[in-house]
Amino acid sequence: MIKKIGVVGAGTMGHGIAESFAMYGYEVNLYDTDANRLISAKKEIKEELELLAEEKFIESRTVQQIFGNITFNSDLRETVKERD
C-alpha cells in the first residue's frame, strides 16, 4: 500500500500534487533543483491551505498538520529514498 510519496518538480503541477497527497495524510517529499522554486512552492502551498481553510473546505486546525506532511528537498536521492 502506498503511504510515502516523492514528487519531482515543485512547479505548478508538482506543488499541487504534493499538496493534494498531503491533504489526504500522505508523507510527501517535494523535490526541485531550484532553491528559489522550493521557497516559492512552500509559500504557495501555505497560502493555498490557508485559503482552503478560510473558505471552509478544510478545518483551519488542520493547516499546520497538512503542511507538516510535506518535506521540501533539493537532493533527489533523499527525495526518493524510502518512498513507495
The domain locations on the chain are: 4-80
Name the class of domain 4-80. Answer: alpha beta
Q: Which of 35, 51, 73 is nearest to 23 (CA)?
A: 51
Residues in the chain: 84
* HSE (side-chain half, CA atoms, 13 Å) at 15: 19
Terminal Cα-to-Cα distance of the chain (whole angstroms):
8
> Is the pTM for the entire model greater than 0.75?
yes
Q: How would you write the pLDDT of the chain (84 residues) with one tens digit per residue?
A: 899 999 999 999 999 999 999 999 999 999 999 999 999 999 999 999 999 999 999 999 999 999 999 999 999 999 999 999
Torsion of Cα atoms, 69 then 10 then 21 then 17, to 10°: 160
